[in-house]
Amino acid sequence: MGLWPSRSLALALLGAAGALLLLPAADPGSWGRALPPLLLLLAGGAALLRLCARPLALRRAPERVGYLPEPGCSRRQAARRARRSRRAGELPPLYPNGWFRLLDSPGLPRGGVRSLAALGEQVAVFRALDGQVYVVDAYCPHLGANLAAGGRVVGNCIECPFHGWQFRGEDGKCTTIPYAEKVPDFAKIKTWPSCEINGMILVWYHCDGIDPVWAVPEQEEITSKEWVYRGHTEHFVNAHIQEIPENAADFAHLTFLHEPVFMSGVDLRYTHSKLWESVKHCWKGEWQPEPEPNKHCSQLVVKHSLTVFGKHFSLMDFAVRARQVGPGLVYLTFEHAFLGRGIILQSVTPVEPLLQHVVHRIYYQRTMPAVIPKFILKVECVQFERDIMIWNNKQYLSKPLLVKEDSAIQRHRRWFAQFYSENSTRFTFQKGGLDW
Protein backbone atom coordinates (compact mmCIF):
# COMPACT_ATOMS: atom_id res chain seq x y z
CA MET A 1 0.00 0.00 0.00
CA GLY A 2 1.12 3.53 -0.63
CA LEU A 3 3.37 2.52 -3.52
CA TRP A 4 1.17 2.98 -6.59
CA PRO A 5 4.03 4.14 -8.84
CA SER A 6 6.03 1.10 -7.73
CA ARG A 7 3.18 -1.28 -8.62
CA SER A 8 2.71 0.28 -12.04
CA LEU A 9 6.43 0.20 -12.65
CA ALA A 10 6.63 -3.45 -11.60
CA LEU A 11 3.84 -4.40 -14.01
CA ALA A 12 5.53 -2.48 -16.83
CA LEU A 13 8.83 -4.22 -16.12
CA LEU A 14 7.18 -7.64 -16.12
CA GLY A 15 5.48 -6.86 -19.41
CA ALA A 16 8.71 -5.69 -21.03
CA ALA A 17 10.62 -8.68 -19.68
CA GLY A 18 7.91 -11.01 -20.96
CA ALA A 19 8.14 -9.49 -24.42
CA LEU A 20 11.90 -10.01 -24.43
CA LEU A 21 11.49 -13.61 -23.27
CA LEU A 22 9.09 -14.34 -26.14
CA LEU A 23 11.67 -13.32 -28.73
CA PRO A 24 13.43 -16.71 -28.76
CA ALA A 25 10.15 -18.43 -29.68
CA ALA A 26 10.11 -16.53 -32.96
CA ASP A 27 13.87 -16.54 -33.44
CA PRO A 28 15.86 -19.17 -31.49
CA GLY A 29 19.08 -17.29 -32.19
CA SER A 30 17.86 -14.15 -30.48
CA TRP A 31 18.65 -15.29 -26.90
CA GLY A 32 22.09 -13.77 -27.08
CA ARG A 33 20.67 -10.44 -28.20
CA ALA A 34 17.74 -10.45 -25.74
CA LEU A 35 19.63 -11.38 -22.58
CA PRO A 36 21.78 -8.21 -22.09
CA PRO A 37 18.87 -5.72 -22.44
CA LEU A 38 16.71 -8.00 -20.27
CA LEU A 39 19.29 -7.99 -17.46
CA LEU A 40 19.79 -4.24 -17.83
CA LEU A 41 16.04 -3.65 -17.72
CA LEU A 42 15.57 -5.77 -14.62
CA ALA A 43 18.56 -4.23 -12.80
CA GLY A 44 17.47 -0.68 -13.60
CA GLY A 45 13.88 -1.45 -12.67
CA ALA A 46 14.90 -2.98 -9.35
CA ALA A 47 16.96 0.09 -8.51
CA LEU A 48 14.06 2.39 -9.43
CA LEU A 49 11.59 0.35 -7.39
CA ARG A 50 13.88 0.56 -4.38
CA LEU A 51 14.26 4.31 -4.84
CA CYS A 52 10.48 4.79 -4.92
CA ALA A 53 9.88 2.68 -1.83
CA ARG A 54 12.84 3.68 0.34
CA PRO A 55 12.31 6.59 2.77
CA LEU A 56 14.17 9.79 1.99
CA ALA A 57 17.29 10.26 4.15
CA LEU A 58 19.18 13.52 3.76
CA ARG A 59 21.89 14.65 6.19
CA ARG A 60 23.78 17.90 5.64
CA ALA A 61 27.16 18.54 7.27
CA PRO A 62 27.42 21.92 9.07
CA GLU A 63 29.67 23.44 6.41
CA ARG A 64 27.55 22.26 3.46
CA VAL A 65 24.67 24.70 3.87
CA GLY A 66 24.36 28.40 4.55
CA TYR A 67 27.86 29.72 3.88
CA LEU A 68 29.20 31.64 0.90
CA PRO A 69 32.19 30.15 -0.92
CA GLU A 70 35.56 31.90 -0.69
CA PRO A 71 38.23 31.70 -3.40
CA GLY A 72 41.01 29.33 -2.43
CA CYS A 73 39.13 27.95 0.58
CA SER A 74 37.40 24.65 1.15
CA ARG A 75 33.79 24.65 2.35
CA ARG A 76 34.97 23.84 5.86
CA GLN A 77 37.50 26.69 5.86
CA ALA A 78 34.95 29.20 4.54
CA ALA A 79 32.42 28.15 7.18
CA ARG A 80 35.01 28.42 9.94
CA ARG A 81 36.01 31.92 8.85
CA ALA A 82 32.39 33.02 8.78
CA ARG A 83 31.81 31.69 12.30
CA ARG A 84 34.93 33.36 13.67
CA SER A 85 34.19 36.75 12.12
CA ARG A 86 30.50 36.93 13.03
CA ARG A 87 29.42 39.05 15.99
CA ALA A 88 26.97 37.06 18.05
CA GLY A 89 25.14 40.01 19.58
CA GLU A 90 23.50 40.21 23.01
CA LEU A 91 22.15 36.68 23.23
CA PRO A 92 19.36 35.21 25.35
CA PRO A 93 20.33 32.30 27.63
CA LEU A 94 21.77 29.41 25.65
CA TYR A 95 19.62 26.47 26.69
CA PRO A 96 15.88 26.90 27.29
CA ASN A 97 13.99 24.54 29.58
CA GLY A 98 11.90 21.84 27.91
CA TRP A 99 11.81 18.55 26.04
CA PHE A 100 14.42 17.93 23.32
CA ARG A 101 14.96 15.08 20.87
CA LEU A 102 18.10 13.01 21.35
CA LEU A 103 17.64 10.38 18.64
CA ASP A 104 15.02 8.37 16.80
CA SER A 105 13.65 5.17 18.29
CA PRO A 106 14.94 2.83 15.55
CA GLY A 107 18.48 4.05 16.30
CA LEU A 108 18.50 2.38 19.72
CA PRO A 109 17.79 -1.38 19.77
CA ARG A 110 17.40 -3.43 22.96
CA GLY A 111 20.75 -3.53 24.72
CA GLY A 112 21.99 -0.59 22.66
CA VAL A 113 24.01 2.32 24.11
CA ARG A 114 24.67 5.73 22.53
CA SER A 115 26.85 8.64 23.66
CA LEU A 116 25.33 11.97 22.65
CA ALA A 117 26.17 15.66 23.10
CA ALA A 118 23.18 17.88 23.85
CA LEU A 119 22.50 21.10 25.75
CA GLY A 120 26.15 21.45 26.69
CA GLU A 121 26.11 18.01 28.32
CA GLN A 122 27.35 14.56 27.38
CA VAL A 123 24.81 11.82 28.06
CA ALA A 124 24.59 8.07 27.64
CA VAL A 125 21.30 6.78 26.26
CA PHE A 126 20.57 3.07 26.59
CA ARG A 127 17.67 0.72 26.06
CA ALA A 128 17.24 -1.91 28.75
CA LEU A 129 16.50 -5.51 27.84
CA ASP A 130 12.82 -4.93 28.67
CA GLY A 131 12.69 -2.15 26.05
CA GLN A 132 12.67 0.83 28.42
CA VAL A 133 14.93 3.77 27.50
CA TYR A 134 17.08 5.59 30.07
CA VAL A 135 19.29 8.68 29.90
CA VAL A 136 22.19 9.15 32.34
CA ASP A 137 25.35 11.23 32.53
CA ALA A 138 27.91 9.75 30.17
CA TYR A 139 30.82 9.79 32.61
CA CYS A 140 31.15 7.25 35.41
CA PRO A 141 31.44 8.99 38.81
CA HIS A 142 34.15 6.48 39.80
CA LEU A 143 37.02 7.55 37.51
CA GLY A 144 35.29 9.28 34.62
CA ALA A 145 35.07 6.57 31.96
CA ASN A 146 32.46 7.14 29.25
CA LEU A 147 29.74 4.57 29.90
CA ALA A 148 28.73 4.55 26.23
CA ALA A 149 32.28 3.90 24.97
CA GLY A 150 32.38 0.16 25.47
CA GLY A 151 29.79 -0.06 28.24
CA ARG A 152 27.08 -2.70 28.01
CA VAL A 153 23.51 -3.11 29.17
CA VAL A 154 22.88 -5.62 31.95
CA GLY A 155 19.17 -5.96 32.67
CA ASN A 156 18.00 -2.42 33.36
CA CYS A 157 21.51 -1.22 34.28
CA ILE A 158 24.43 0.14 32.31
CA GLU A 159 27.84 -1.32 33.09
CA CYS A 160 31.00 0.80 33.06
CA PRO A 161 33.62 -0.63 30.66
CA PHE A 162 36.48 0.41 33.00
CA HIS A 163 35.81 -1.42 36.28
CA GLY A 164 32.40 -3.07 35.80
CA TRP A 165 30.36 -0.79 38.04
CA GLN A 166 26.67 -1.07 37.19
CA PHE A 167 24.18 1.79 37.44
CA ARG A 168 20.40 1.40 37.41
CA GLY A 169 18.72 3.42 34.67
CA GLU A 170 15.63 4.27 36.70
CA ASP A 171 17.32 6.19 39.52
CA GLY A 172 21.07 6.07 38.78
CA LYS A 173 21.83 3.95 41.87
CA CYS A 174 24.98 1.85 41.66
CA THR A 175 23.91 -1.77 42.15
CA THR A 176 27.17 -3.64 41.59
CA ILE A 177 30.88 -3.05 42.22
CA PRO A 178 32.54 -6.38 41.30
CA TYR A 179 35.50 -6.07 43.67
CA ALA A 180 33.82 -4.29 46.63
CA GLU A 181 32.23 -5.93 49.66
CA LYS A 182 29.55 -3.25 49.82
CA VAL A 183 28.13 -0.66 47.43
CA PRO A 184 28.08 2.77 49.13
CA ASP A 185 24.64 4.37 49.37
CA PHE A 186 25.98 7.57 47.84
CA ALA A 187 27.31 5.78 44.73
CA LYS A 188 25.02 6.87 41.94
CA ILE A 189 24.99 8.69 38.61
CA LYS A 190 22.77 11.54 37.46
CA THR A 191 19.68 10.47 35.53
CA TRP A 192 17.68 12.62 33.14
CA PRO A 193 13.89 12.46 32.69
CA SER A 194 13.15 10.99 29.28
CA CYS A 195 10.26 9.76 27.17
CA GLU A 196 9.75 7.86 23.93
CA ILE A 197 6.92 9.05 21.74
CA ASN A 198 6.16 9.63 18.04
CA GLY A 199 9.19 7.56 17.05
CA MET A 200 11.60 9.77 19.02
CA ILE A 201 13.56 9.56 22.27
CA LEU A 202 13.48 12.86 24.13
CA VAL A 203 15.14 14.25 27.24
CA TRP A 204 13.82 16.84 29.67
CA TYR A 205 16.23 19.69 30.43
CA HIS A 206 15.80 22.26 33.19
CA CYS A 207 18.68 24.34 34.48
CA ASP A 208 17.35 24.08 38.06
CA GLY A 209 16.71 20.34 37.92
CA ILE A 210 12.92 20.74 38.05
CA ASP A 211 10.91 17.72 36.90
CA PRO A 212 8.82 17.95 33.69
CA VAL A 213 5.92 20.40 33.95
CA TRP A 214 4.27 19.40 30.67
CA ALA A 215 4.16 16.30 28.49
CA VAL A 216 5.01 15.76 24.82
CA PRO A 217 1.72 15.22 22.93
CA GLU A 218 1.22 11.94 21.14
CA GLN A 219 0.30 12.03 17.45
CA GLU A 220 -2.35 9.33 17.30
CA GLU A 221 -2.02 8.72 13.56
CA ILE A 222 1.64 7.77 14.08
CA THR A 223 0.92 5.45 17.00
CA SER A 224 -1.91 3.71 15.11
CA LYS A 225 0.27 3.53 11.97
CA GLU A 226 -2.39 5.30 9.93
CA TRP A 227 0.51 7.58 8.99
CA VAL A 228 3.81 5.87 8.21
CA TYR A 229 7.38 7.13 8.16
CA ARG A 230 8.52 8.36 4.73
CA GLY A 231 11.84 10.06 5.42
CA HIS A 232 13.84 12.65 7.30
CA THR A 233 16.33 15.46 6.85
CA GLU A 234 19.08 16.57 9.25
CA HIS A 235 20.79 19.95 9.43
CA PHE A 236 23.12 21.81 11.77
CA VAL A 237 22.41 25.52 12.23
CA ASN A 238 24.99 27.94 13.60
CA ALA A 239 22.62 30.24 15.48
CA HIS A 240 20.84 30.67 18.79
CA ILE A 241 17.91 28.28 19.18
CA GLN A 242 15.41 31.14 19.57
CA GLU A 243 16.15 32.37 16.04
CA ILE A 244 14.57 29.26 14.50
CA PRO A 245 11.05 29.31 16.02
CA GLU A 246 10.98 33.12 15.80
CA ASN A 247 10.50 32.76 12.05
CA ALA A 248 6.92 31.66 12.77
CA ALA A 249 6.08 35.21 13.85
CA ASP A 250 8.06 36.89 11.07
CA PHE A 251 5.43 37.02 8.32
CA ALA A 252 7.39 39.50 6.19
CA HIS A 253 10.19 37.01 5.62
CA LEU A 254 7.68 34.50 4.24
CA THR A 255 6.61 36.84 1.46
CA PHE A 256 10.19 37.71 0.49
CA LEU A 257 12.64 34.94 1.33
CA HIS A 258 10.23 32.12 0.51
CA GLU A 259 8.39 33.70 -2.42
CA PRO A 260 10.71 32.41 -5.20
CA VAL A 261 9.71 28.95 -6.43
CA PHE A 262 11.61 26.10 -4.77
CA MET A 263 13.29 25.21 -8.07
CA SER A 264 15.34 28.42 -7.83
CA GLY A 265 17.44 26.74 -5.15
CA VAL A 266 18.87 27.71 -1.77
CA ASP A 267 21.64 30.18 -2.64
CA LEU A 268 20.03 33.53 -1.87
CA ARG A 269 22.21 35.28 -4.42
CA TYR A 270 20.27 33.58 -7.20
CA THR A 271 16.79 32.73 -5.91
CA HIS A 272 15.31 35.95 -7.32
CA SER A 273 16.74 35.33 -10.80
CA LYS A 274 14.62 36.17 -13.85
CA LEU A 275 14.69 32.52 -14.91
CA TRP A 276 12.11 31.59 -12.26
CA GLU A 277 10.32 34.87 -11.61
CA SER A 278 7.21 33.69 -13.48
CA VAL A 279 6.44 31.12 -10.73
CA LYS A 280 5.96 32.31 -7.16
CA HIS A 281 4.88 30.96 -3.79
CA CYS A 282 2.32 33.10 -1.96
CA TRP A 283 2.04 32.89 1.82
CA LYS A 284 -0.39 34.29 4.38
CA GLY A 285 0.10 33.49 8.04
CA GLU A 286 -1.05 34.21 11.56
CA TRP A 287 0.79 33.35 14.77
CA GLN A 288 -0.80 33.14 18.22
CA PRO A 289 0.25 31.75 21.60
CA GLU A 290 -2.08 29.24 23.23
CA PRO A 291 -3.79 29.93 26.59
CA GLU A 292 -3.52 27.85 29.77
CA PRO A 293 -3.06 24.96 30.28
CA ASN A 294 -1.02 24.98 27.07
CA LYS A 295 0.86 28.24 27.49
CA HIS A 296 4.02 26.39 26.45
CA CYS A 297 2.48 26.00 22.96
CA SER A 298 1.84 28.39 20.09
CA GLN A 299 0.34 28.04 16.63
CA LEU A 300 1.12 29.35 13.18
CA VAL A 301 -1.54 28.88 10.51
CA VAL A 302 -0.20 29.39 6.98
CA LYS A 303 -2.16 29.43 3.74
CA HIS A 304 -0.13 28.69 0.62
CA SER A 305 -0.92 29.33 -3.03
CA LEU A 306 1.08 29.32 -6.25
CA THR A 307 1.00 31.72 -9.17
CA VAL A 308 2.27 30.93 -12.66
CA PHE A 309 2.73 33.97 -14.92
CA GLY A 310 0.58 35.87 -12.45
CA LYS A 311 -2.30 33.38 -12.61
CA HIS A 312 -3.48 31.45 -9.58
CA PHE A 313 -2.69 27.72 -9.77
CA SER A 314 -5.39 26.38 -7.43
CA LEU A 315 -4.11 22.79 -7.37
CA MET A 316 -1.30 23.94 -5.07
CA ASP A 317 -3.57 25.61 -2.50
CA PHE A 318 -3.14 24.13 0.96
CA ALA A 319 -3.01 25.13 4.61
CA VAL A 320 -0.38 24.19 7.17
CA ARG A 321 -0.81 24.32 10.92
CA ALA A 322 2.52 24.55 12.73
CA ARG A 323 2.12 23.93 16.45
CA GLN A 324 5.18 24.81 18.50
CA VAL A 325 5.38 22.65 21.64
CA GLY A 326 7.94 24.06 24.03
CA PRO A 327 11.22 25.46 22.69
CA GLY A 328 12.35 22.47 20.64
CA LEU A 329 9.41 20.71 18.96
CA VAL A 330 7.07 21.66 16.10
CA TYR A 331 4.16 19.63 14.67
CA LEU A 332 3.52 20.72 11.06
CA THR A 333 0.26 19.13 9.94
CA PHE A 334 -1.15 19.58 6.45
CA GLU A 335 -4.06 18.35 4.39
CA HIS A 336 -4.72 18.55 0.66
CA ALA A 337 -7.76 17.46 -1.34
CA PHE A 338 -5.68 15.31 -3.69
CA LEU A 339 -2.29 14.90 -1.98
CA GLY A 340 -3.66 13.59 1.31
CA ARG A 341 -2.76 14.24 4.95
CA GLY A 342 0.43 14.03 6.93
CA ILE A 343 2.78 15.64 9.40
CA ILE A 344 6.36 16.85 9.58
CA LEU A 345 7.85 16.66 13.07
CA GLN A 346 10.56 19.26 13.54
CA SER A 347 12.97 18.94 16.44
CA VAL A 348 15.59 21.53 17.38
CA THR A 349 18.19 20.42 19.91
CA PRO A 350 21.05 22.66 21.08
CA VAL A 351 24.32 20.75 20.86
CA GLU A 352 26.53 23.52 22.22
CA PRO A 353 26.48 27.35 22.19
CA LEU A 354 25.12 28.52 18.82
CA LEU A 355 24.93 25.05 17.26
CA GLN A 356 21.49 23.50 16.75
CA HIS A 357 20.76 20.00 15.46
CA VAL A 358 17.53 20.21 13.45
CA VAL A 359 15.67 17.12 12.23
CA HIS A 360 12.51 16.96 10.12
CA ARG A 361 10.67 13.61 9.99
CA ILE A 362 7.66 13.15 7.73
CA TYR A 363 4.78 10.73 8.36
CA TYR A 364 2.10 10.35 5.73
CA GLN A 365 -1.07 8.47 4.90
CA ARG A 366 -0.21 4.85 4.28
CA THR A 367 -2.58 4.77 1.28
CA MET A 368 -0.79 7.56 -0.60
CA PRO A 369 2.16 6.98 -2.96
CA ALA A 370 5.46 7.33 -1.10
CA VAL A 371 6.75 9.72 -3.75
CA ILE A 372 4.31 12.43 -2.56
CA PRO A 373 5.61 12.86 1.02
CA LYS A 374 9.19 12.50 -0.19
CA PHE A 375 8.61 15.36 -2.62
CA ILE A 376 6.96 17.47 0.10
CA LEU A 377 9.89 16.88 2.45
CA LYS A 378 12.38 17.78 -0.27
CA VAL A 379 10.58 21.06 -1.01
CA GLU A 380 10.45 21.84 2.71
CA CYS A 381 14.18 21.13 2.87
CA VAL A 382 14.87 23.71 0.15
CA GLN A 383 12.88 26.37 1.99
CA PHE A 384 14.57 25.52 5.30
CA GLU A 385 18.05 25.77 3.79
CA ARG A 386 17.22 29.29 2.63
CA ASP A 387 16.57 30.15 6.27
CA ILE A 388 19.86 28.53 7.27
CA MET A 389 21.78 30.92 5.01
CA ILE A 390 20.25 33.78 6.99
CA TRP A 391 20.72 32.23 10.44
CA ASN A 392 24.33 31.15 9.86
CA ASN A 393 25.41 34.68 8.98
CA LYS A 394 23.18 36.96 11.06
CA GLN A 395 23.63 38.71 14.38
CA TYR A 396 21.04 38.38 17.13
CA LEU A 397 19.64 41.80 18.02
CA SER A 398 18.08 42.08 21.47
CA LYS A 399 16.61 45.46 20.49
CA PRO A 400 15.77 45.19 16.77
CA LEU A 401 14.43 48.06 14.68
CA LEU A 402 10.83 47.01 14.05
CA VAL A 403 7.81 48.56 12.35
CA LYS A 404 4.22 48.00 13.45
CA GLU A 405 3.81 45.16 10.94
CA ASP A 406 6.53 43.30 12.88
CA SER A 407 4.62 43.35 16.18
CA ALA A 408 4.24 39.55 16.25
CA ILE A 409 8.02 39.21 16.61
CA GLN A 410 8.03 41.03 19.95
CA ARG A 411 5.02 38.99 21.10
CA HIS A 412 6.88 35.82 20.18
CA ARG A 413 9.94 36.90 22.18
CA ARG A 414 7.82 37.56 25.25
CA TRP A 415 6.18 34.16 24.82
CA PHE A 416 9.51 32.33 24.36
CA ALA A 417 11.01 33.99 27.47
CA GLN A 418 8.99 31.59 29.65
CA PHE A 419 11.49 28.84 28.81
CA TYR A 420 14.37 30.65 30.55
CA SER A 421 15.10 30.77 34.27
CA GLU A 422 17.24 33.02 36.42
CA ASN A 423 19.97 30.39 36.46
CA SER A 424 19.88 29.61 32.72
CA THR A 425 23.36 29.44 31.19
CA ARG A 426 24.43 32.58 29.37
CA PHE A 427 27.00 33.02 26.65
CA THR A 428 30.34 34.60 27.55
CA PHE A 429 32.09 36.08 24.55
CA GLN A 430 35.78 35.31 24.29
CA LYS A 431 38.19 37.19 22.09
CA GLY A 432 39.01 35.17 19.02
CA GLY A 433 35.49 34.64 17.77
CA LEU A 434 32.93 31.90 17.89
CA ASP A 435 34.62 28.65 17.02
CA TRP A 436 34.04 25.29 18.66
Spatial distance between the Cα atoms of 299 and 319, rounded to a whole number of angstroms: 13
Average pLDDT over residues 404-427: 96
Domain with CATH 3.90.380.10 in the chain: 58-87+219-419
Whether 247 contacts 413, CB under 8 Å: no
Amino acid identity of residue 356, one-letter, is Q
243 pLDDT more than 60: yes
Helix (H) or strand (E) holding 148: none
Spatial distance between the Cα atoms of 138 and 124, rounded to a whole number of angstroms: 4
Helix (H) or strand (E) holding 57: strand 56-59
pLDDT at site 117: 97
pLDDT at site 15: 59
pLDDT at site 125: 99
Pick the CATH number of 98-205 from 3.40.640.10, 2.102.10.10, 1.10.760.10, 3.40.1160.10: 2.102.10.10
Domain with CATH 2.102.10.10 in the chain: 98-205
pLDDT at site 274: 87
Neighbouring CB atoms inside 10 A of 1's CB total: 11
Task: Report the mean per-residue pLDDT for the chain.
Answer: 90
Lowest mean pLDDT among 22-26, 197-201, 278-282, 291-295: 22-26
Q: Per residue in 144-163, is it b (16+ CB within 10 Å) or e — as a string?
A: ebbbbeebbbbebbbbbbbe
What are the tens digits of pLDDT across the range 336-356? 888 889 999 999 999 998 999
Average pLDDT over residues 7-13: 55
pLDDT at site 25: 55
Spatial distance between the Cα atoms of 124 and 148, rounded to a whole number of angstroms: 6
434 band by pLDDT with thresholds 50, 70 and 90: very low
Average pLDDT over residues 352-369: 96
23 pLDDT more than 80: no
Closest to 370 (Cα-Cα) out of 11, 53, 57: 53
Pick the CATH number of 58-87+219-419 from 3.40.50.300, 3.40.630.30, 3.90.380.10, 3.90.1210.10: 3.90.380.10
pLDDT at site 436: 41
pLDDT at site 433: 47
Please list the residues that pair with 301 across neighbouring strands.
Answer: 286, 321
pLDDT at site 88: 83
Average pLDDT over residues 79-98: 92
Q: Per residue in 339-377, is it b (16+ CB within 10 Å) or e — as a string?
A: bbebbbbbbbbbbebbbbbbbbbbbbbbebbbbbbbebb
Spatial distance between the Cα atoms of 391 and 385, rounded to a whole number of angstroms: 10
pLDDT at site 40: 55
